Chain A
């Protein structure tokens, strides 16, 4: 039972990576995603491997079931029981509008007003009970919500982060009446102040909990019916996995799992290549995700807005997304400026070159026109479009208004797109006090390796790493992810007033909770690691800065030093005049799964020489002119290959572009390392 299958469901394809650690064998599968019930695609991908399910040791599944449910608002009917006087908090939000400029737009609360009920109870900011809980009122409210057809329920009381007693008691009462068990307590997911954010996080959880629960039950049933008897794990947005049996309890944690698994694979790959600091660059069809990995660890954020006015404040891999992907459309705006994205041709009609009726120039079309993509190698083409027609459309839609020919116009589209993506990378690095020159760029996704080298040049990033299977990175992320649970506790006291043993006590409790959860899941882990962080601020500030803690035993003086150093690194400001405040303490409990060997992923059919790995030579546009360029097949590259750009490297679902003057070598785990 040494076989682990990582399965990721994407918008178009469901990808699978199956690793047999005993034999080193790797099997891959790529099947169309089944939109209505993702389980069919999952089963089809498993079927494609030819390995009987009874022979699998674990399946790790990245699903977008909850993500899509939120996007399409195909969610459960949720009821709310809340503090008297505050049922509208979830509809009113924090006084915002969708865009800084323009007064139009709409907002639909997740729980409509008729399903939001109030009960008598009140706790104050110190945790003292101001008004006792009306237990009979709670039962009445629960019965009323059931009558109204609510499928799940949120119990959300003011200040429950400091004193959860009322929420807990109300939870017991409601659970006694709520047969399906879909009861979410606000403080249980997020023990942090801010009633709107905590309430919305709970509401999102309740809205997708029944959806995820049903999906996983059915999938588990299907898998067992086919002989699968080992553990099914589900990917979460924090970059860790959770046992399928308890995943729905904190279903909100799976909403942002898609981008997280890619970053986890990137961290795994980079660490094994001996590169601890990387910027990940995942460019797909409609969007690009970038994230920062330092010392092998992805940065984690707890402040993300799913869409307008829907913040979910649970720990998530901090991914910055921009609307620029292969399908992004190029157009000339009213000021006569070339603009690329955020409008996208998506999968349908898609870029012009897919021949599915797309008529507007996209990034993919520009790459094709410049010889960077192989017209015969595109996966999604329905009816091939003649290159001459493509070039004519580029000239017409982009070139004519800018006074450029087709070549220069296509190059301009790429340059503008790269500029936007470079901006996104600056925002995750420079704007947070990191110099991109200290990082390597790790490129994946269908289009990442095509743009990565140019981006690295733009940003003065010295190295680009292209993993063995850039198009299957998310599935790989599932296969390698550890089990992970996060715990947050609000302290919110000036540092000098924090009791000597408080930090130790809170962290010890979080460690115990983490250990208990992982043991309860019964997932095979080699060991459990605990990673601690503190959110801090200077007294009077409202934004927080997160500081990594070296361990459980942290003195107040050490906390102060860590915070001041982090503050200097971020803002270059020193403030001896003002007291720091300890806002929250976090613990991530990480159950380390056995490492998966990556070398097997890179197994190809190496040819004896670089020359023999060449498929053809093609004219490719670089920096103002056409250059005769060798095209290599990735699988054929010799193990010790070292060469210089220009080059195009093709593999099944991905093309890498190496600019002239860059050096390429293959590292010991099969990644291509490009020195820019």
Chain B
């Protein structure tokens, strides 16, 4: 085939990107699930017709879906081939099976064959996080399920739309198995409409440039992304780098789960070996292979954000299947914690390994928990049941370039929190505090950002609280001599008595009555570099703002302050000259 001219190539690249961005926007604006519309927990992309490989993905999609939908598209292609399923224009498959290239059950994928002039040209697919898919707890984040059936309705790839018509029978099965079913029809239509918009835009692009030219451009763009990734990898010194990260517990057995990450860099390739990680666990903190792989892709994208995403980007990354570990879960292991929590620990293990290799480009660990909390109950005043979801952020890690930001989004997300004024409109709660988690930023030459404290009181009726969070046992890791960030804490006051979850960050079905209080403090980011080298006037400023106490300044940073809050230079010099 003739080489494609470089200018047309660039134009087609941005054209494909725009098709995906428009699908992202349309999905988000029309969706009902606040997890999709506000938290932007969704993604749209274009996939190769035979291999299912990623061609282009929206820039506004949730980061954890980097690369994941190619696995679910592949699962659809396999089913089509195995069962000789006829494909027709207007068909849309629905699938959420975690073991078939999925994440957790709540991420429901729509996969649509795209026809151009009568022939299958590619697949369009999107994922949206549904607020509920049935299962043992509202919202799906069970803290102690022991098999996937307890986590909700599992859908293999089936056609939800046939030739453009919604299959009312399949729809009825779905709606009979999930909570708050009446609004799901809105999400289903929004999710399908986004693919229809993609279809129209992609048709226009192919009309304009010709299907053959675009096909060649797709191949060329893949090769170039691979080339760009290889160039970034080549700049890392050859060697083997190790990092580790811990999940507090699996929610059932109160023992930490270890992720062992061994990254070997040779020439232009990175190899990721997770041998030595904990075995599969009983509780829902297992990860399916697609999520484990995507978490590594995501971590690398956070390190090299300028490399565009398509199948080529991942070519130079070799991931050894972590057989026999909790990072390669098989049926019927429960997996509801994989997309929100385990994925972030995997990314942290990658960061921890690479910060030794290229410290100037990396950072200490971010808070790295989605902080999922759900409260489901009955509001007697409004005579209706409700499920309230709270997500929260935490501090980011310090880096060579500066302190980490406070209340940053989860590593895998781009989701904003719901305003307190909105939550209080919908649910019978009154927030008493939403404040900076003082002292939580990991001390360092560049300190971590701070987590959040929030506290609310149930005003009416009864409810049950469940949570899947993490970093309750170990704070986010410091790097290059920096200290760990502050840990996640949950405190509940029931009938005047204090209750703390035995697993610290995971619990389920905690009964609440009117007047009871839920209080959460989220983790701060890890510190970067020796805190005793932090500029003393910055420490004094941080104390003046109440970020740290005077004692913390003394003990952690080796900075002594005078009564007026200014740095006592002589005492500070003495302290810093002594042993740490």
**Which A residues have a C-beta under 8 Å from some C-beta of B?**
85-89, 91-107, 112-114, 122, 124-125, 130, 158-159, 161, 193-197, 333-339, 402-404, 412, 415-416, 419-420, 423, 426, 430-431, 492, 538-543, 570-573, 575, 577-578
Contact = CB atoms under 8 A, between A and B. Distances in A.
A99 B405 CA distance: 12
9 contacts: A92-B435, A94-B416, A101-B301, A102-B305, A103-B302, A113-B546, A337-B13, A419-B10, A577-B185
3 A-B pairs closest in CB distance: A95-B393, A101-B305, A85-B433
B458 to A, nearest CB: 14
Please indicate which of the listed interface residues A95, A99, A104, A571 has the most CB atoms of chain B within 10 Å of its own CB: A95
B228 A335 contact: yes
Nearest to B30: A571
B282 to A, nearest CB: 31
Contacts of B228: 333-335
A573 B193 contact: yes
Contact of A573 (B30, B411, B416): B30
Contact of A99 (B305, B366, B393): B305
B394 to A, nearest CB: 9
Contact of A335 (B14, B225, B424): B225
B421 A193 contact: yes
Contact of B31 (A102, A334, A541): A541
Nearest to A334: B228
Contact of B434 (A89, A100, A404, A572): A89
A125 B430 CA distance: 9
A541 B32 contact: yes
B54 to A, nearest CB: 15
B430 A130 contact: yes
B113 to A, nearest CB: 20
Contacts of A105: 405
A158 B6 contact: no
Contacts of B189: 573, 575
B44 to A, nearest CB: 13
B10 A543 contact: no
A194 B201 CA distance: 34
B318 interface: no
A617 to B, nearest CB: 28
A423 B435 contact: no
Contacts of A334: 228, 231-232, 306-307
A338 B10 contact: yes
Please indicate which of the listed interface residues A96, A104, A197, A431 has the most CB atoms of chain B within 10 Å of its own CB: A104
B544 interface: yes
Contact of B408 (A89, A96, A159, A196): A96
B414 A100 contact: yes
B14 A423 contact: yes
B373 to A, nearest CB: 14
Given A103-B366, A423-B18, A195 B421 contact: yes
B7 A415 contact: yes
B183 interface: yes
Interface stretch (B91-99, B115-123, B395-403, B554-562): B395-403
B19 to A, nearest CB: 10
Interface stretch (B20-28, B270-278, B286-294): B20-28
B435 A88 contact: yes
A87 B438 CA distance: 13
B408 A103 contact: yes
A231 to B, nearest CB: 39
B32 A538 contact: yes
Nearest to B225: A335
A311 B503 CA distance: 38
Given A96-B408, A100-B63, 13 more contacts: A87-B435, A88-B434, A92-B435, A95-B408, A95-B409, A96-B416, A334-B232, A338-B6, A570-B30, A571-B30, A575-B186, A575-B189, A578-B183
A104 B399 contact: yes
B328 interface: no
Nearest to B27: A571
A130 B459 CA distance: 11
Contacts of A420: 14
A107 to B, nearest CB: 5
Given A104-B401, A158-B420, A426-B18, A112 B545 contact: yes
Interface in B174-194: 182-183, 185-186, 189-190, 193
Contacts of A336: 6, 224, 227
Nearest to B189: A573
Given A335-B228, A571-B193, A573-B189, A543 B409 contact: no
B511 interface: no
Contact of B186 (A101, A124, A541): A541
A193 B190 contact: no
A194 B421 CA distance: 6
Given A100-B63, A571-B26, A86 B435 contact: yes
B34 to A, nearest CB: 5
B68 interface: no
Contacts of B7: 338, 402, 412, 415-416
Contact of B417 (A95, A159, A430, A575): A95
B405 A125 contact: no
B27 to A, nearest CB: 10
Contacts of A93: 407
B425 A193 contact: yes
Interface in B346-402: 363, 366, 391-393, 396-397, 399, 401-402
Contacts of A196: 419
Contacts of B78: none
B98 to A, nearest CB: 24
Nearest to B17: A423
B363 A337 contact: no
B415 interface: yes
A159 B422 CA distance: 10
Please indicate which of the listed interface residues B18, B225, B407 has the most CB atoms of chain A within 10 Å of its own CB: B407
A86 B434 contact: yes
A92 B419 contact: no
Interface in B536-563: 544-547
A95 B409 CA distance: 5
A107 B7 CA distance: 37
B403 A91 contact: no
Contact of B182 (A86, A572, A578): A578
Contacts of A99: 305
A159 B421 contact: yes
Contacts of A539: 183
B433 A86 contact: yes
A264 to B, nearest CB: 27
Nearest to B312: A335
